[in-house]
């Protein structure tokens, strides 16, 4: 087939330099085995192979073709042949471009920003459920609020060297973070009697920037802000070594930013002891006494800081302990869970694991597609979709535990799980912000922005996780109906679990978006609070996932908020949530989904009737607050739901919704260049006639100005010599109206003949009249020093009386009077 190549191979006796390089290259990648310098035997083998491959289907060429496949020197993984050596000319199936990680190989190590130092130790915690409910701390009112000492009077025992702040932005990443030798940041102990605690946070999801020893057993802790920002300090997770038993330690976090916190009502920090875990199989537990959350006595001049202080006694000497804001769930934890799913011969049949995209740092954002195989194409096309996401805010690990509970149930052999997989296609993104989870951020990605404010973004490179998620849902909507979208979050100021939704404007589906939350509250009455749910769509939340998906056409679009604390409902009142509580809620989501889609609409209609009654009670409550009685029979369903709901300002909203940090400098430079260009740019004159006309116009303006200034300056020369400098400056601007003000000045002098106007009084009077004239010429312009008065005394209102507005804006039905009233919307008025 290739005679020129055969002739060249026969004539060649020694390998060329390029040929030797190529053999090295192929050997490196595993496609060639053998010495780099080929002998004449090898050339003859290649020659035979080249002849045999010309027509592998011929029987006489089968031996040479098999020689190519079984050659110890050449290696190909694309051609398939059986163990008997018979030729099979089929190629292997192409590799999946979006394949999941190898089930036989190791997990992909997390990629860190190049500035972050990372210790080599693997941090692992066991899962454990407390045998008894963990109650909130009951404040006594005598809790101490330590004043901040600082490093001036204390001793810094731990401090991160290089922490990227708002002045920098993400550039690159690598496995293991910063290259080079990892420094020992903790202090060196002077001997076995040295009781200084050793701190560490340079591990996955860790967050602690500095620890200062201010007393023997008292430490001030400073949290690291989200990378490339100067805010969002809430999540903490760090390690302590060299502990002492039966000693009361005090820890105070000094740079929290939220004025309200669940710590004020008794939430306790979490502690983990490695000795307890290894000897007694005890995991994370709530610990702490004398807990107090208070405003700091120092701040940076821009925003106040708040402090969290607590005391604790460690259970063992020389123990290694951890503290955390909530139960950690890291990127590695997720990968281990997904690896077990991929290795399961049963679960892998109906759960396909794919790569949705890669984050800024190059970490994989995983997408799970869960459904039972359909028997026919029509059955597959009839399935509706459900989309679930979590961890867009990396410090809200509650979302991962709920997601884990959902995945545990939907991937199980339960009949309900099998039914759900039969009727739905589940699209699950279990960790939307892996970069933030890895580095220990609370709210932002490595772009320095809150991803849950950027679902409308077009910046694919800056916000890849959000862009690809929205694009995936957009394509899904083109294929089938998406019944429900839910994004799992955590909440730091409200108790229980609740949902944020979106009021539906279509009267056909009035209140339907509230049915699923109400059903969920009935299925989990001791955890989920329907009364804490809110369905108002605010302008500041337009970039959130729930609002964007709702505007894309998903009626049941929600944000699920799970408290960092615990429950105030039923038997769980005043107790902390555990991972078991949150994973059980994942099961309740599945159970509620079955109730919501039950072909028997009895439950659905019962909930809808209950919602109408609850809404009617809420409307009467609003009118009662306004001091009015209403009979809404027959018209109350037309009331706008937005008007009777409060805002969701109690949510953990943030204003990190601008451009990504690395684009801010570029934008500023472009704006400055644009302004300079606008200043320099002038409209060119097109003709000599136009230039002459402009020249004549400017001369006329100068002459008219001189003629106006001359008599005015002469008439008031003697007076102006006695006036202050600022009055002289105002002469030119008010010269044309001074003549008109002279009679008014005479009238004033006539009223007070015994007094004369001095220079300062005259200045004040004339300036006041000038401002009044400007107000008359420009009605929309108000002058603060001269209030506008009404010329009609009969219409003038006393300064202390309120306007006589009718408060009965909504006519009510009283006695025998009947009026037909239509209420298109409800507007709640406030009176000045």
Rounded (10°) angle between helices 579-596 and 415-423: 50
CB-based contact 331:206 (threshold 8 Å): no
| Of residues 474, 209, 467, the one with CA closest to residue 357 | 467
| Overall size of the chain counted in residues | 832
Q: How far apart are CA 271 and CA 707, in angstroms?
A: 87
Backbone angles phi, psi at 435, to 5 degrees: -60, -45
Rounded to 10 deg, the angle between the 398-410 and 331-343 helix axes is: 10
126's torsion region: left (phi>0), alpha (psi -120 to 50) or beta? beta
| 759-777 vs 731-751: helix crossing angle, rounded to 10 | 110
The residue with tokens 């109730």 is: 595
* Cβ density class 358-397: b for 16+ within 10 Å, e for less: bbbbebbbbbbebbbeeeeeeeeeebebbbbbbbbbbbbb
Query: Does the active-site annotation cover 478?
Result: no
Alpha-carbon Rg for the chain, nearest whole angstrom, is 38
Half-sphere exposure of 318 (CA within 13 A, CB side): 4
DSSP 265: G
**How many other CB atoms are found less than 10 A from the CB of residue 240?**
23
Q: Are 255 and 235 in contact (CB under 8 A)?
A: no
Neighbours of 809 (CB within 10 A): 10
Q: Which two tokens stand for residue 656?
A: 């990190």
Residue 345's Cβ-side half-sphere holds a number of Cα atoms within 13 Å equal to 0
Residue 495 contacts residue 480 (beta carbons within 8 Å): no
CA–CA–CA angle 209, 210, 216 (5° rounding): 150
Single out the residue of 295, 325, 292 nearest to residue 309, CA to CA: 292
β-pairing, 285-286 vs 289-299, is unpaired
The secondary structure of residue 528, as a DSSP letter, is: B
Residue among 74, 67, 91 nearest 31 (CA)? 74
Three-state SS for 571?
helix
d(CA 161, CA 808): 66
| 561, 618, 633, 747: the active-site residue | 561
**Residue 434, token pair as written in the block:** 């892996």
**E strands of 374-444, at which residues?**
384-390, 424-429
Given the DSSP bridges, would you call strands 198-200 and 566-567 parallel, antiparallel or unpaired? Answer: unpaired
**Residue 506 tokens, joined:** 């279509």
Report the alpha-carbon distance of residue 268 to residue 251 in Å, rounded: 13
Query: How many whole angstroms separate alpha carbon 414 and alpha carbon 422?
Result: 12
What CA–CA distance (Å, rounded) separates 701 from 695? 10
- Asked whether the beta carbons of 284 and 124 are under 8 A apart, the reply is no
Distance, in Å, from the CA atom of 385 to the CA atom of 501, rounded to the nearest integer, reads: 18
Element (H, E) at 689: helix 688-715
Which residues does the annotation mark as catalytic? 561
């Amino acid at each position: 087939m290739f005679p020129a190549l055969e002739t060249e191979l026969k004539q060649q006796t020694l390998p060329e330099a390029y040929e030797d390089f190529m053999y090295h290259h192929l050997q490196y990648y595993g496609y060639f085995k053998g010495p780099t310098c080929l002998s004449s035997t090898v050339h003859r083998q290649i020659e035979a192979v080249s002849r045999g491959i010309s027509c592998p289907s011929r029987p006489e060429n089968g031996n040479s073709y098999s020689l190519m496949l079984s050659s110890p020197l050449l290696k190909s993984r694309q051609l398939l042949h059986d163990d008997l050596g018979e030729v099979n000319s089929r190629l292997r199936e192409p590799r999946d471009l979006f394949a999941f990680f190898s089930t036989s190989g190791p997990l992909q190590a997390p990629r860190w920003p190049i500035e972050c130092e990372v210790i080599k130790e693997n941090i692992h915690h066991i899962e454990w459920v407390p045998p008894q409910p963990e109650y909130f701390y009951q404040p006594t009112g005598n809790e101490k609020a330590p004043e901040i000492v600082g490093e001036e009077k204390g001793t810094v025992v731990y401090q991160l060297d290089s922490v990227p702040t708002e002045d920098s932005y993400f550039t690159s990443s690598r496995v293991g973070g910063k290259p080079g030798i990892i420094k020992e940041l903790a202090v060196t102990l002077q001997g076995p009697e040295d009781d200084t605690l050793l701190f560490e946070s340079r591990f996955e999801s860790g967050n602690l920037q500095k620890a200062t020893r201010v007393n023997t057993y008292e430490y001030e802790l400073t949290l690291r802000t989200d990378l490339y920002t100067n805010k969002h300090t809430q999540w903490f997770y760090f390690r302590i070594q060299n502990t002492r038993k039966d000693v009361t330690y005090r820890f105070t976090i000094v740079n929290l930013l939220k004025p309200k916190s669940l710590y004020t009502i008794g939430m306790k920090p979490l502690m983990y002891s490695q000795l307890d875990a290894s000897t007694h199989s005890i995991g994370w537990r709530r610990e702490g006494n004398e807990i107090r959350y208070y405003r700091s006595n120092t701040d940076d001049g821009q925003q106040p800081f708040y402090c969290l202080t607590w005391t604790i006694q460690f259970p063992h000497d020389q123990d290694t302990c951890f503290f955390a804001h909530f139960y950690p769930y890291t990127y590695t934890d997720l990968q281990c869970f997904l690896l077990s799913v991929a290795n399961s011969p049963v679960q892998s049949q109906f759960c396909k694991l794919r790569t949705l995209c890669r984050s800024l740092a190059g970490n994989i954002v995983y997408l799970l597609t869960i459904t039972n195989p359909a028997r026919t194409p029509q059955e597959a096309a009839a399935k509706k979709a459900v989309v679930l996401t979590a961890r867009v805010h990396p410090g809200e690990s509650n979302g991962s535990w709920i997601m884990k509970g959902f995945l545990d149930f939907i991937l199980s052999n339960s009949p309900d799980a099998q039914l759900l997989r039969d009727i739905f296609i589940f699209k699950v993104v279990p960790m939307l912000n892996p970069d933030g989870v890895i580095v220990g951020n609370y709210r932002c990605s490595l772009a320095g922005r809150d991803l849950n404010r950027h679902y409308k973004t077009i910046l694919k490179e800056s916000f890849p996780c959000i862009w690809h998620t929205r694009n995936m849902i957009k394509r899904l909507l083109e294929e089938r109906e998406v019944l429900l979208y839910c994004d799992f979050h955590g909440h730091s100021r409200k108790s229980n679990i609740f949902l944020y939704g979106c009021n539906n404007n279509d009267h056909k589906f009035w209140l339907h978006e509230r049915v699923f939350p109400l059903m969920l509250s009935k299925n989990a009455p001791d955890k989920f609070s329907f009364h804490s749910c809110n369905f108002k769509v605010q302008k500041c939340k337009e970039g959130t996932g729930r609002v964007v998906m709702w505007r894309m056409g998903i009626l049941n679009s929600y944000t699920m908020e799970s408290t960092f604390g615990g429950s105030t409902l039923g038997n769980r009142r005043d107790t902390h949530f555990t991972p078991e509580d949150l994973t059980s809620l994942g099961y309740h989501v599945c159970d509620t989904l079955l109730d919501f889609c039950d072909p028997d609409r009895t439950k659905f209609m019962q909930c809808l009737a209950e919602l109408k009654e609850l809404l009617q009670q809420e409307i009467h409550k609003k009118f009662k607050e306004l001091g009015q009685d209403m009979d809404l029979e027959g018209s109350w369903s037309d009331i706008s739901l937005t008007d009777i709901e409060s805002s969701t300002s109690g949510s953990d909203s943030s204003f990190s919704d601008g451009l990504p940090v690395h684009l801010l400098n570029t934008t500023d430079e472009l704006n400055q260049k644009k302004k300079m260009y606008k200043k320099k740019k002038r409209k060119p004159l097109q003709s000599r006639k136009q230039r002459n006309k402009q020249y004549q116009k400017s001369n006329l303006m100068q002459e008219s100005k001189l003629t106006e200034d001359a008599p005015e300056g002469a008439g008031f020369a003697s007076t102006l010599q006695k006036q202050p400098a600022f009055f002289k400056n105002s002469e030119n601007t008010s010269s044309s109206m001074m003549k008109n003000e002279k009679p008014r000045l005479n009238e004033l002098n006539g009223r007070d003949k015994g007094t004369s106007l001095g220079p300062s009084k005259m200045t004040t009077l004339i300036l006041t009249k000038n401002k009044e004239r400007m107000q008359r010429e420009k009605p929309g312009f108000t002058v603060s020093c001269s209030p506008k008065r009404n010329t009609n005394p009969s219409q003038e209102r006393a300064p202390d009386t309120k306007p006589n507005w009718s408060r009965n804006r909504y006519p009510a039905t009283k006695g025998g009077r009947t009026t037909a009233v239509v209420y298109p919307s409800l507007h709640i008025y406030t009176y000045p």
